[in-house]
Amino acid sequence: MRRSVINVLEYTYGPVIVSALFCYFLAASDPAQEVILGHLADFQIYQAPEAANQAGLFTQDEHRSGRLQMAVVLLIALPFFTVWSARQALRLCDMDNEPAAPFIIALIPLMFIIAYPTALIGALRSPEAPALDQNTLAWLFAALVFVLMQFLAAVARMGNAQLYTQALDWLDTIISKDTMPALWMVLRGYVIHGLAALFMVIVIWKGFFSPGTTGQIGALGMAAGFAAAAALLLAALTVLSHRVAGNFPLVLVLLGLSGALVSPVVAVAVVVGLILLILLTRASARSRTPLFLLTGIALVYSGSHLVDGACQTWSGCNHVQGVPPAEKPIYSAQRAFQDWPRAASAPVRIAAAQGGGLYAAYHTAYYLAARTDTDPDFTRTLFAISGVSGGSVGGGVYWAIRQSGVCDRADAAPDCHRAAVDAILRRDFLTPALAGLLFRDNLDNVVPYSAAFEEPIDRGAVLEAALADALGDWTEAQGLGRPAYFDRALTASWSPDKGAPLLVFNATRVDNGHHYILSPLRQIRGGVPGLLELWGGRDLTVGNAMVISARFPVVTPPARVRVRTPGQPDRPQVIQLADGGYFDNSGLESVTELLHALKNDMNGTRVEVIQFTADETAAPPQVKGTFGAPLSAFTAAWRARRDLTATRVMQFFPAQDAPPSPDAPIPMNVVMCVARTIPHEVNFTVSWYLAQKTFDAIKLQIEEGHGAIPMDRKNVSFDTVLQRTGGVPDCSTKNGLTPPGVQVAAQ
């Protein structure tokens, strides 16, 4: 029996591994729980839109109406496809009579039977979980019933195959094709399999050809469709492997091709290995065909670095193109500050927007929008936003809202900026990026087709397009059409006349870990460049720079940009830029450089550095395992580095109550203000999808924020300030932000 189990697992490894991994991530990962909560809430909004409006829930996204149904259908289909692919691999390789086969086949639906309720219960135990109505329960119950049917069928085959066959014959006698054809087809499962196949074709089509239009499938549906396709592909690869002489496992070839992306040396090794495999095995011409095909692909990998030495490989080798610069960049931050028409005697504010995915984007954008709606002079005091990852996206969205001028109209609503942020960011940005990851980019790792496209088509570009579409939908609803603000050259983004802040995006260079600043400025200060000039004198767009700063693997890949080779101005080189959070997740490093550049121009000026943070409750020390310890250390280092950088800012610019001599200029007074959210009863998962209650929790904390407790450099540490500060301080003379409803009533 032991040998039989090993034999069966060898042929069904693909479906079993796919099922196990999918079930684990569904039941155990934070993003999956957040998506499940979002599906449940969205489904209830769709079922009762009037009640949802009365409850203040967001209902503008038309793509969400059917996401739960699509997700449930695809979740139902996944066990069918994995079981069917495993059975096909065994049958086509003449292994279906192995004693262990029924046990392994039954294991697959059993994993889903355990994982589905576990994931649902885990989501429903969250304080964010909505109360389930009858319609939602009916859909969820149907999913469990269909999966249970698949498991019982496998158990019947495992316990008594003859009895199972006799039962089907008995059903055929009572309910025959002639008497009740429709019911017969349903009972035999043909309709279910047919519908599942149709839905999977739709998922593959959308995932590969149009990842930006996947709203009705949703992240769970997209992942389930990919898992089903992967199970079928691996089963087919198993069958093909056992039809090649020597029964060589071709999955090793695929792993070798992925490894060939590391360096041309590995690619050459893969080619040599494939050639030796063909020569040393007694394979027929027909069985050698797939080996020759895979060898050709490996040759492309190993030879592409000779054709395009900057890329090393063609896979994913589309470069960020940028646009011709609309105007010459401003030379320095000092010049930009001198041209900035700030309010007299008002503080100068600089925002440091930390990373964190969609929650950081929404926190940044909504906070700035609320300050703008409740303080007419706020835009004249906000000089710059230094953004990282999600904070860059939030800063870019706020900048675009200001560029539009919609909220400066005489008839603009009192909460115009906040409503705009809701309309743009309360969306699912995870599904398009996930579709690009699972389908387009995944295939590109094996067949480097992306080299044929001039414009980038990777999931980073897909995320950028999704954000641009969301902004375009809002501007179109405001009667402006679809002006491409995110396609504007970054050098042309500085618009102080419109109350739009200076954009400073932060990125990290992959090969050396250096900090890169992406801004409209030629330099921040002496020796600190603020502009990345592309090959051919082109400039990054606002959308390019914003998403480059947010390219955090594995959801989005590093961006490849062509720049001049140092010392060889006539030759381009390709560098990779990733999320700025690798170097500094707070955005304060660039703020420090700005303050150094402007210290001579801001004598006697109060400078408020608004630092965005999510104050996670410190967990008790825990011993982590082999994989958990590095990840925990990496995320904890983010927070520790943030606190260290904030302390350094205060040390660089110490407060002075009076000038050292009567004739000396009064130095600028830098105050650190903490714009803080607390993940209380909500989950700030680092993802591009959030449940509506998470948005609502961030919004509520901002609206009910209290006055700031600025840092006392002499007596209070940064950690103590974080512990003492309640709500979200606004560092102003006001006692917090006025909720929009109260403001309207007062007017």
The predicted pLDDT at position 390 comes to 92
Q: Which of 389, 377, 373, 375 is nearest to 612 (CA)?
A: 389
Task: Indicate whether 14 pLDDT > 80.
Answer: yes
Convert the pLDDT of each residue in 262-271 to its tens digit: 666 666 676 6
How many Å apart are CA 96 and CA 36, to the nearest integer? 37
DSSP conformation letters of 571-586: EEEEEEEEEGGGT-SS
pLDDT band of residue 741 (cuts 50, 70, 90) is very low
The predicted pLDDT at position 737 comes to 39
User: Which of 7-11, 271-275, 439-443, 592-596 shows the highest mean pLDDT?
Assistant: 592-596
Which contiguous run of DSSP H or E holds residue 509?
strand 502-509
Question: Which tokens is 657 given?
Answer: 């109550």
Fold of 330-338+348-583+604-617+634-655+665-746: Cytosolic phospholipase A2 catalytic domain (3.40.1090)
pLDDT band of residue 727 (cuts 50, 70, 90) is very low
DSSP conformation letters of 171-189: HHHHS-TTT-HHHHHHHHT
Query: DSSP assignment, residue 539?
Result: B
Average pLDDT, the chain: 75
pLDDT band of residue 718 (cuts 50, 70, 90) is very low
The predicted pLDDT at position 10 comes to 80
Strand 669-677 to 606-614 pairing:
parallel
Taking a C-beta distance cutoff of 8 angstroms, is the pair 530, 335 a contact? no
pTM score: 0.83
Three-state SS string over 316-363 comes to CCCCCCCECCCCCCEEEHHHHHHCCCCCCCCCEEEEEECCCCHHHHHH
Strand 521-525 to 515-518 pairing:
unpaired
Q: Which of 207, 218, 211 is nearest to 63 (CA)?
A: 218
Which contiguous run of DSSP H or E holds residue 237?
helix 218-241
Taking a C-beta distance cutoff of 8 angstroms, is the pair 584, 388 a contact? yes
Convert the pLDDT of each residue in 451-461 to its tens digit: 677 777 888 89
Convert the pLDDT of each residue in 117-167 to its tens digit: 888 877 777 766 766 666 666 666 766 676 666 666 666 655 444 544 555
The predicted pLDDT at position 66 comes to 55
Residues contacting 689, CB < 8 A, separation 6+: 31, 34, 35, 38, 219, 358, 428, 429, 430, 431
Q: How many helices (H) and strands (E) does the chain have?
A: 26, 11
DSSP SS3 for 392:
helix
How many Å apart are CA 543 and CA 649, to the nearest integer? 29
Task: Indicate whether 677 pLDDT > 90.
Answer: no
Q: Which of 422, 361, 369 is nearest to 587 (CA)?
A: 361
3-state helix, strand, coil in the chain (%, to 5): 55, 10, 35
Question: Domain ranges in the chain?
Answer: 2-246, 262-307, 330-338+348-583+604-617+634-655+665-746
How many Å apart are CA 220 and CA 67, to the nearest integer? 9
- 251-273 average pLDDT score: 68
How many Å apart are CA 467 and CA 680, to the nearest integer? 28
Task: Indicate whether 60 pLDDT > 50.
Answer: no
The predicted pLDDT at position 403 comes to 93
Task: Indicate whether 386 pLDDT > 80.
Answer: yes
Which contiguous run of DSSP H or E holds residue 376?
none
Peptide bond just before 268 cis, omega within 30 deg: no
Long-range CB contact pairs, 33-36, < 8 A, 24+: 33/119, 33/122, 33/123, 33/126, 33/683, 33/685, 34/683, 34/685, 34/687, 34/689, 34/690, 34/691, 34/694, 35/218, 35/219, 35/220, 35/430, 35/689, 35/691, 36/119, 36/120, 36/123, 36/220
Helices 161-174, 134-159: crossing angle, 10 deg rounding: 120
% of the chain residues with pLDDT over 90: 16
- 52-56 average pLDDT score: 40
Helices 101-124, 67-92: crossing angle, 10 deg rounding: 160
